[in-house]
C-alpha cells in the first residue's frame, strides 16, 4: 500500500504544500507557486488573510462548536445581518450549512416545501455538487454522474446559451434557449409541478460561461408568472469573484433564493441559503437542519471575510484587475488562434483552447496548464464539458505584478505547446 488516502480525488498537481499566503502557496521543498486556482474559487481574500486568521484564532478560544438546535450563539444573527447588507434586495434570512452541495440540497428542500411542487429545472453545463440530488442537477461533465445511477428523478435540463460554441449572436442564443425553456415547460414539467429553476449566473465547472444579457431576466420572468422559485447558485460567482458581491447585480435580476459557499469564509467550510423572511417562515421548523450548520468558527471567518471584501475600493480594484487581465489575454488571442475565446466578468475569466478546426482541445489545455506549473510555477485548473477551458480564478488580492507573471507563464505555455 503506497498511501492511506483515497484515490478518488482527481489531482491537478502532485504538489505537497505546507503554507499559503495571499496568492502564493509554498511546497514542502520551499518552492513558491502562484495559486491561480484559489482552492477552486474559495480563497477570494487570499490564503490566510490576516483578518480571517485573527477572527478564527479568537473564536477558537471561545467556542468551537455551539450546536444550533441546542442553543444559539451571537454570531448566527450577526452574520445574518451582514449577509442581508451585502446580498441582493429581498434576500434577508439565512440557513447555514457546511458545503456548497449541502446548501443546494437545502435550497431544493426549501423550494419543494414552500411550493408543494416536486420538479426542478436546471441548465445544460451546470454544476451543483456531488451528493445524489446535486449530481442529478449537474450536467457539466459526464464523470460527475457516470456510475452513480439511479439519480433522483424530477430534474429537467434546459439549454444554456453558448454563443462561442454555436456561432449564434448572444441575442439569438438567448432567444433560442428561452424558447427551448418554454418547450420544457410545455412538454416535460408542467409549471404547476415545477418548484424551482436553479442556475449559475456564470457557469463555473461548465466552462466559465456567463449567461448573456437577458437570459437570467427571461428565466426570472417565467418563474414569476408561474409561481416557480428563481434560485441562483452563486457558490462560485459570489463574494467579489466577478467584481460585484454577487454576479446577479450586473444582470439586473434578484433571486427568490440565493445559494452561497466557497468565498463566503475564505476556506472555512460554511455555506448559506438566503431568501425573503416570508419564504423562510414557510419552511417548516424541523424539516431541515444539520449538526454543524452555523458553526461559530465558520461564522467568525465569514464575518471577517465579508469585511475584507466590503472595504471601500476592494471591488473596484477587482473590476480593474479583471479588465486588465482580460485585455492581456485578448491580446494573446490575437497572436494565438488556439486561444479561441476569452470571457467572463471580474476575476472569473475563461480562456477556451481550440484546435485548428475551432473544436475543443482538452489535450492542449492540459499541456498548457502542466507547462505553467513546471516552468512558470503558476497553478491553473481547467473547466468546461470537454475540459478545454483554462480558468483564471486568482485570489482577488493578487497584485498586478502577480497577474502579469501568470499571463507571462500562460503566454510561454501557449507558444511552447503549439
Ligand X SMILES: Cc1ncc(COP(=O)(O)O)c(C=O)c1O
Helices (runs of H) and strands (runs of E) counted in the chain:
13, 17
Of residues 94, 95, 127, 246, which one binds ligand X by CB under 6 A? 127
DSSP 47: B
C-alpha cell at 357: 478546426
C-alpha cell at 93: 434570512
Stretch that binds ligand X, among 11-19, 100-108, 247-255, 377-385 (CB under 6 A): 100-108
Of 407, 380, 386, 391, nearest to 12 (Cα)?
380
Stretch that binds ligand X, among 94-102, 238-246, 277-285, 371-379 (CB under 6 A): 94-102
β partners of residue 381: 391
The mark string for 11-50 relative to ligand X (x by CB under 6 A, - otherwise) is -----------------------------x----------
112 scored as a contact of ligand X (CB under 6 A)? no
101 scored as a contact of ligand X (CB under 6 A)? yes
Tell me which residue has its CB nearest to ligand X.
Answer: 100
Cα distances from 36 to residues 33, 46, 171, 257, 394, in angstroms, run 9, 10, 32, 30, 4
Nearest distance from residue 336's CB to ligand X, in Å?
28
Of 21, 77, 48, nearest to 299 (Cα)?
77
339 scored as a contact of ligand X (CB under 6 A)? no
Of residues 80, 159, 204, 384, which one binds ligand X by CB under 6 A? 204
Q: How many CA atoms lie within 13 A of 259 on its CB side?
A: 32
Helix, strand, or coil (residue 280): helix
Of residues 129, 207, 214, 255, which one binds ligand X by CB under 6 A? 129
How many residues bind to ligand X according to rule CB under 6 A?
15
**Helix 400-416 / helix 362-371 crossing angle, nearest 10 deg:** 130
229 scored as a contact of ligand X (CB under 6 A)? no
C-alpha cell at 27: 511546497
233 scored as a contact of ligand X (CB under 6 A)? yes
- Report the alpha-carbon distance of residue 102 to residue 153 in Å, rounded: 18
- Report the alpha-carbon distance of residue 108 to residue 129 in Å, rounded: 13
Of residues 55, 66, 104, 136, which one binds ligand X by CB under 6 A? 104
Stretch that binds ligand X, among 111-119, 127-135, 357-365, 375-383 (CB under 6 A): 127-135
- Report the alpha-carbon distance of residue 289 to residue 116 in Å, rounded: 19
Nearest distance from residue 32's CB to ligand X, in Å?
26
End-to-end CA distance of the chain: 39
Of residues 189, 236, 251, 295, which one binds ligand X by CB under 6 A? 236
Stretch that binds ligand X, among 24-32, 98-106, 323-331, 408-416 (CB under 6 A): 98-106
Nearest distance from residue 247's CB to ligand X, in Å?
11
Of 140, 113, 144, nearest to 350 (Cα)?
140
128 scored as a contact of ligand X (CB under 6 A)? yes
Nearest distance from residue 51's CB to ligand X, in Å?
23
Among residues 236 and 326, whose Cβ is nearest to ligand X? Answer: 236
Nearest distance from residue 405's CB to ligand X, in Å?
26
344 scored as a contact of ligand X (CB under 6 A)? no
Nearest distance from residue 130's CB to ligand X, in Å?
6
Four-residue CA torsion sign, 88, 44, 196, 277: negative
Of residues 35, 105, 200, 405, which one binds ligand X by CB under 6 A? 200
Of residues 38, 45, 59, 99, which one binds ligand X by CB under 6 A? 99
Query: How would DSSP label each residue in 341-390?
Result: EEE-STT-EEEEEB-TTS-B-HHHHHHHHHHIIIII-EE-EEESTTS-EE
Residues of this chain that bind ligand X (CB under 6 A): 40, 99-101, 104, 127-129, 200, 204-205, 233, 235-236, 261
Amino acid at each position: 500500500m503506497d498511501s492511506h488516502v483515497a484515490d478518488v480525488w482527481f489531482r491537478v498537481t502532485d504538489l505537497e504544500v505546507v503554507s499559503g499566503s495571499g496568492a502564493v502557496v509554498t511546497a514542502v521543498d520551499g518552492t513558491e507557486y502562484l495559486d491561480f486556482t484559489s482552492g477552486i474559487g474559495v480563497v477570494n481574500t487570499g490564503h490566510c488573510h490576516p483578518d480571517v486568521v485573527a477572527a478564527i484564532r479568537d473564536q477558537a478560544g471561545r467556542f468551537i462548536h455551539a450546536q444550533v438546535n441546542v442553543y444559539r450563539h451571537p454570531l448566527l444573527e450577526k452574520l445574518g445581518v451582514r449577509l442581508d447588507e451585502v446580498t441582493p434586495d429581498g434576500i434577508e434570512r439565512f440557513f447555514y450549512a457546511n458545503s456548497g452541495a449541502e446548501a443546494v440540497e437545502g435550497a431544493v428542500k426549501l423550494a419543494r416545501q414552500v411550493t408543494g411542487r416536486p420538479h426542478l429545472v436546471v441548465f445544460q453545463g451546470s454544476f451543483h455538487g456531488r451528493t445524489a440530488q446535486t449530481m442529478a442537477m449537474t450536467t457539466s461533465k459526464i464523470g460527475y454522474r457516470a456510475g452513480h445511477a439511479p439519480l433522483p428523478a424530477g430534474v429537467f435540463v434546459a439549454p444554456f446559451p453558448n454563443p462561442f460554441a454555436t456561432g449564434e449572436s448572444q441575442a439569438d442564443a438567448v432567444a433560442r434557449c428561452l424558447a427551448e425553456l418554454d418547450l420544457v415547460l410545455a412538454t416535460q414539467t408542467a409549471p404547476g409541478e415545477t418548484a424551482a429553476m436553479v442556475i449559475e449566473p456564470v457557469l463555473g465547472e461548465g466552462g466559465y460561461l456567463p449567461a448573456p444579457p437577458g437570459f437570467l431576466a427571461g428565466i426570472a420572468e417565467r418563474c414569476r408568472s408561474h409561481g416557480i422559485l428563481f434560485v441562483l447558485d452563486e457558490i462560485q460567482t459570489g463574494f467579489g469573484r466577478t467584481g460585484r458581491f454577487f454576479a446577479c447585480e450586473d444582470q439586473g435580476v434578484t433571486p427568490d433564493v440565493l445559494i452561497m459557499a466557497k468565498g463566503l469564509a475564505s476556506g472555512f467550510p460554511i455555506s448559506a441559503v438566503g431568501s425573503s423572511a416570508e419564504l423562510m417562515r414557510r419552511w417548516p421548523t424541523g424539516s431541515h437542519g444539520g449538526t454543524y450548520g452555523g458553526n461559530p468558527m465558520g461564522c467568525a471567518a465569514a464575518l471577517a471575510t465579508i469585511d475584507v471584501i466590503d472595504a471601500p475600493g476592494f471591488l473596484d480594484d477587482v473590476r480593474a484587475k479583471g479588465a486588465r487581465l482580460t485585455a492581456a489575454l485578448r491580446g494573446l488571442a490575437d497572436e494565438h488562434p488556439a486561444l479561441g475565446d476569452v470571457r467572463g466578468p471580474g476575476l472569473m475569466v475563461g480562456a477556451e483552447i481550440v484546435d485548428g478546426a475551432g473544436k475543443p482541445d482538452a489535450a492542449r489545455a492540459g499541456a498548457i496548464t502542466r507547462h505553467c506549473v513546471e516552468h512558470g510555477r503558476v497553478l491553473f485548473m481547467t473547466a468546461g464539458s470537454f475540459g478545454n477551458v483554462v480558468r483564471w480564478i486568482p485570489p482577488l488580492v493578487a497584485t498586478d505584478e502577480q497577474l502579469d507573471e501568470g499571463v507571462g507563464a500562460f503566454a510561454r505555455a501557449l507558444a511552447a505547446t503549439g
